[in-house]
A and B are shown apart, each in its own frame.
Chain A
Amino acid sequence: MNDPPRGLAGSSSRCLDEGHCITCSDEGVAMRVVEVGDHGLALCVVGGKGGGDGFGRENARDEGELPVEVLTDLVAPVAPGDELLVHAGVALLRLSGGSVRTEAAA
């Protein structure tokens, strides 16, 4: 976990390439835990069981994205398969029901 598979170049490009700013967009990305590490860190991939992240990044999991390191102190303990809402590298909450799903809007 000391040497994450996703380097800084990959990380930083997210700020610009995806058309929104992580601070200003109030971004929350649904991610799934694939590996629990030490010191509150976990490797996560984008997308819940439904595939999207609730912020327009459809098929994010199918785009070959590598796992990213996420701080899970605020939602600990976590286990592989858990789905989390992540902002700026920190899991803000655990997504209940395993996805960002809710009742139909209308």
Chain B
Amino acid sequence: MKFVDEYRNADLGRALSAQIRAIVEPGRQYKVMEVCGGHTHTIYKYGVDDLLPENVELVHGPGCPVCVIPMGRVDDGIAVAKVPGVIFTCFGDMMRVPGSMGTLLEAKAAGADVRMVYSPLDALRIAKQNPDRDIVFFAIGFETTAPSTALTLMRAKAEGVGNFFCFCNHVTIVPPLRALLESPDLRLDGFIGPGHVSTVVGALPFEFIPKDYGKPVAISGFEPLDLLQSVYMMLLQLAEGRCEVENQYARVVPYGGNERALQVMSEVFELRPHFEWRGLGFITHSGLKLARAYAAFDAELRYEVPGIRVADPKACQCGEVLKGVIKPWECKVFGTACTPETPIGTCMVSSEGACAAYYNYGRFARERVVA
């Protein structure tokens, strides 16, 4: 397949692997965090880690928004979904994320009108088709997804759609990275930066990582060779004593991002003072809420939202997994009580969650043999 095969070429992969082996110091342990869940998925789907030297460890970051949403926010969503007359819409994976008293899918089975959508625009369409009902969209995602919600809300406002509401759970990528860098639990040598988030925000927001923390960054695409090349670029910086943000995914990511997307986001959203992340706790200015000009569309203002903080199940170690402190298979319930069919933790829900990626591609078996 033209323009796809090139990024999965085994010979090129082996050549990159040899280049990586040639630049690492034998006695040094390297920890590289891939921020994005899509990268985690590719790494284990294609066995990218098998091509790395044993002293280069890939650590999975908090780049899966479904994985980092706290149980209390899921409970809040379910509470809104159960309001009589409400049609509650969300992306597919969100329906399976457990709150403290079940999932949106279970709420649907119990009678709530919960519907999957592919885009916020689908939800707006449902609102226009059902003028007598309230339609609530569960907005979730990083800066890749937030412009889609923002444009939809701008459209709803321009068209005077009065029955469309947004339960906003959008988050931003930089604050959790800063929190991780400040974490005493974790020693990282560098980052594989997110690909499509960067199409919106650009490479500029990641400059603080080399500047303030002295760690290199390589923004990466999603094919296996993209990731191998990004690891190589990052390790080469370390080998040469450089420390900067490099853009491996330059075919897609503009350095300055998408100015128009940033503009619509700043019009529709404003930063929350703080937002809770599963495993990371409350992080300042890491979540988005609707700006005052869009308050009429804010589901949190229209409905009684419980807003109760719920602790994670004791057996679940998603927090440690999300911080890269433990590998998924080191969690006590991984692959036994917690599977993709019956997830306890959010990391097992989305296929981009580190636990599901390990589970689906059998990495846990290899890790256990190695251990």
A74 adjacent to B141 (CB under 8 Å)? no
Whether A25 and B3, one on each chain, are in contact in the complex, defined by CB atoms closer than 8 angstroms, is no
Q: How far is the CA of A11 from the CA of B91 in the complex (A)?
A: 10
User: Which single residue of chain B is at the shortest CB-CB distance from A90?
Assistant: B148
Interface of A: prevailing SS = loop
Contact at B4–A51, with CB atoms within 8 Å? yes
CA distance A93 to B264 in the complex (A): 14
The answer to whether the Cβ of A44 comes within 8 Å of any Cβ in the partner chain is no
Q: Is A89 part of the binding interface, using a Cβ–Cβ cutoff of 8 Å? A: yes
Assess whether A93 is in contact with B252, with CB atoms less than 8 Å apart.
yes
- Which listed segment binds A: B24-32, B195-203, B267-275, B316-324? B195-203
Contact B63 A26 (CB under 8 A): yes
Task: Give chain B residues whose Cβ lies under 8 Å from the Cβ of A14.
Answer: 92, 118
| Contact across chains for B225 and A87 when beta carbons are under 8 A apart | no
A88 to B200, CA, bound (A): 13
Bound complex: CA A48 to CA B38 (Å): 20
* Nearest chain A CB to B176 CB, angstrom units: 14
Residues of B within 8 A of A102 (CB): 250-251
Q: Is A46 an interface residue (CB 8 A)?
A: no
- Write the B284-327 contact mask toward A (1 if CB under 8 angstroms, else 0): 00000000000000000000000000000000000000000000
- A105→B3 contact, CB < 8 A: no
A90 to chain B, nearest CB (A): 4
CB-CB nearest in chain B for A41: B121
Cross-chain contact A71 with B3 (CB below 8 angstroms): no
B window 335-371: CB within 8 A of A: 350-353
Residue B243 at the A interface, CB < 8 A? Answer: no
A19 within 8 A of partner (CB): yes
Residue A65 CB within 8 A of the other chain: no
A-B contact count (CB 8 A): 210
A45 at the interface (CB under 8 A from B): no
Interface status of A54 (Cβ within 8 A of chain B): yes
**Stretch touching chain A among B74-82, B210-218, B254-262:** B254-262
Partner of B147 from the list A19, A39, A90, A105 (CB cut-off 8 Å) is A90
Across the interface, do A88 and B221 meet the contact criterion of CB distance under 8 Å?
A: no
B96 nearest CB neighbor, chain A only: A16
Interface residues of A in 63-106 (CB under 8 A from B): 68-69, 71, 73-75, 85, 87-90, 92-93, 95-97, 99-102, 104-106
Q: A12-B115, A26-B196, A74-B258 are in contact. Are A88 and B148 (CB under 8 A)?
A: yes
What residues of B have a CB within 8 angstroms of the CB of A11 in the complex?
A: 117-119, 122
Q: A51-B2, A52-B1, A99-B3 are in contact. Are A28 and B199 (CB under 8 A)?
A: yes
Bound Cα distance A59, B142 (Å): 28
Which residues of chain B are within 8 angstroms of A85 by Cβ–Cβ distance?
Answer: 196, 199, 252
Q: Does B103 make an interface contact (CB < 8 A)?
A: no
Q: Which residue of A lies closest to B150 (CB)?
A: A90
Q: Whole-angstrom distance from the CB of B104 to the nearest CB of chain A?
A: 13
Given A71-B121, A87-B196; A52-B4 close (CB under 8 Å): yes
Known contacts A15-B118, A21-B350; decide if A52 and B3 are in contact (CB<8 Å): yes
Give the chain A neighbours of B140 by CB distance below 8 A.
23
Are B6 and A24 in contact (CB-based, < 8 A)? no
Segment touching A, from B64-72, B160-168, B178-186, B234-242 = B64-72
Could you write out 26 A-B pairs with CB less than 8 Å apart? A8-B117, A15-B92, A15-B118, A20-B351, A21-B37, A21-B92, A21-B93, A21-B350, A21-B352, A23-B65, A24-B66, A26-B36, A26-B142, A50-B1, A50-B4, A54-B3, A68-B118, A71-B151, A85-B196, A90-B121, A93-B252, A100-B251, A101-B3, A104-B6, A104-B12, A105-B6
Which A residues contact B (CB, under 8 angstroms)? 8, 11-16, 19-28, 39, 48, 50-52, 54-56, 58-59, 68-69, 71, 73-75, 85, 87-90, 92-93, 95-97, 99-102, 104-106
> A22-B145, A52-B1, A100-B251 known; 18 other A-B pairs, CB under 8 Å?
A11-B117, A11-B122, A12-B92, A12-B116, A12-B122, A14-B118, A16-B92, A21-B66, A22-B91, A24-B66, A26-B196, A27-B38, A50-B3, A54-B223, A71-B148, A89-B148, A90-B151, A105-B9
